[in-house]
């Protein structure tokens, strides 16, 4: 299957960068064809433009070549993997902006003009994976509602294939973890992705 990694961290030497490498290795070991999008490296513009908002419900809402390229990659992928650090109990703004600008009508869903119901455009997506770290404890993330998990494992899953499965890999208290604990989590991520 074709897998797409969405990566969001501005620091190329970060632990998130190591996680992306583990994800990539795991997917390759499973025999998948892997593509990557590094949102910071490509200088992805997170803010939706006024023109994009005005055309949001048009038959052809995409007004930017970069967005079209992203939409084409999503359309060609059966596995979507999101790798990012959790900041302020949510996704980095650049990744949230990617959802706002790329997961739009004609790409992720359509709204039926008669019934006004949402119709999925992501039925080809069979697996969704979120890989993240937090400085807080798991119970704190749970209390705040763990928005990244909800978006990836619930909202995106509703738009995916009816039998799509989601996987959530989360290392809490990342700043307090030992080198060994971090290495163990990297291995866990690689192993998990190698079994997709």
* CATH (domain of 25): 3.40.50.360
Read off the pTM. Answer: 0.92
Q: Quick one: CA dihedral 10, 149, 153, 91, positive or negative?
A: negative
Query: What pLDDT was estimated at residue 3?
Result: 98
Give CA–CA dist 37/46, Å, rounded.
Answer: 14
**pLDDT per position as a tens digit, 101-133:** 999 999 999 988 888 888 999 999 999 999 999
Residue 165 near residue 127 (C-beta atoms within 8 A): yes
* pLDDT value for 144: 66
pLDDT band at 141 (very low <50, low <70, confident <90, very high): low
pLDDT digits (tens, 9 = 90+) for 7-53: 999 998 999 999 999 999 999 999 999 999 999 999 999 999 999 99
Whole-angstrom Cα distance, residue 190 to residue 196? 10
For the chain, the domain total comes to: 1
Tens-digit pLDDT profile for residues 41-88: 999 999 999 999 999 988 889 989 999 999 999 999 999 999 999 988
85: containing domain:
2-194
Rounded Cα gap, residues 6 and 22, in angstroms: 14
Q: Is the pLDDT of residue 143 over 70?
A: no
């Amino acid at each position: 299957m074709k897998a797409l990694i969405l990566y969001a961290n501005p620091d190329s030497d970060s632990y998130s960068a190591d996680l992306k490498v583990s994800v990539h290795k795991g997917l390759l070991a499973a025999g998948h064809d892997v593509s990557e999008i590094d949102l910071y490296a490509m200088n992805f513009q997170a803010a939706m433009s006024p023109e994009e908002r005005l055309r949001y419900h048009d038959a052809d809402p995409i007004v930017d070549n970069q967005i079209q390229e992203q939409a084409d990659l999503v359309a060609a992928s059966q596995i979507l993997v999101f790798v990012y650090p959790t900041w302020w109990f949510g996704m980095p703004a650049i990744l949230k902006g990617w959802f706002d600008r790329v997961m739009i009508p004609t790409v992720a869903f359509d709204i039926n003009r008669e019934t006004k119901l949402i119709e999925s455009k992501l039925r080809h997506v069979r697996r969704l994976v979120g890989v993240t770290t937090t400085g807080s404890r798991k119970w704190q993330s749970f209390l705040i509602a763990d928005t990244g998990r909800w978006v990836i494992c619930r909202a995106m899953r509703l738009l995916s294939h009816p039998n799509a499965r989601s996987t959530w890999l989360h290392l809490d208290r990342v700043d307090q973890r030992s080198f060994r604990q971090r290495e163990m989590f990297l291995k866990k991520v690689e192993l998990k992705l190698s079994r997709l």
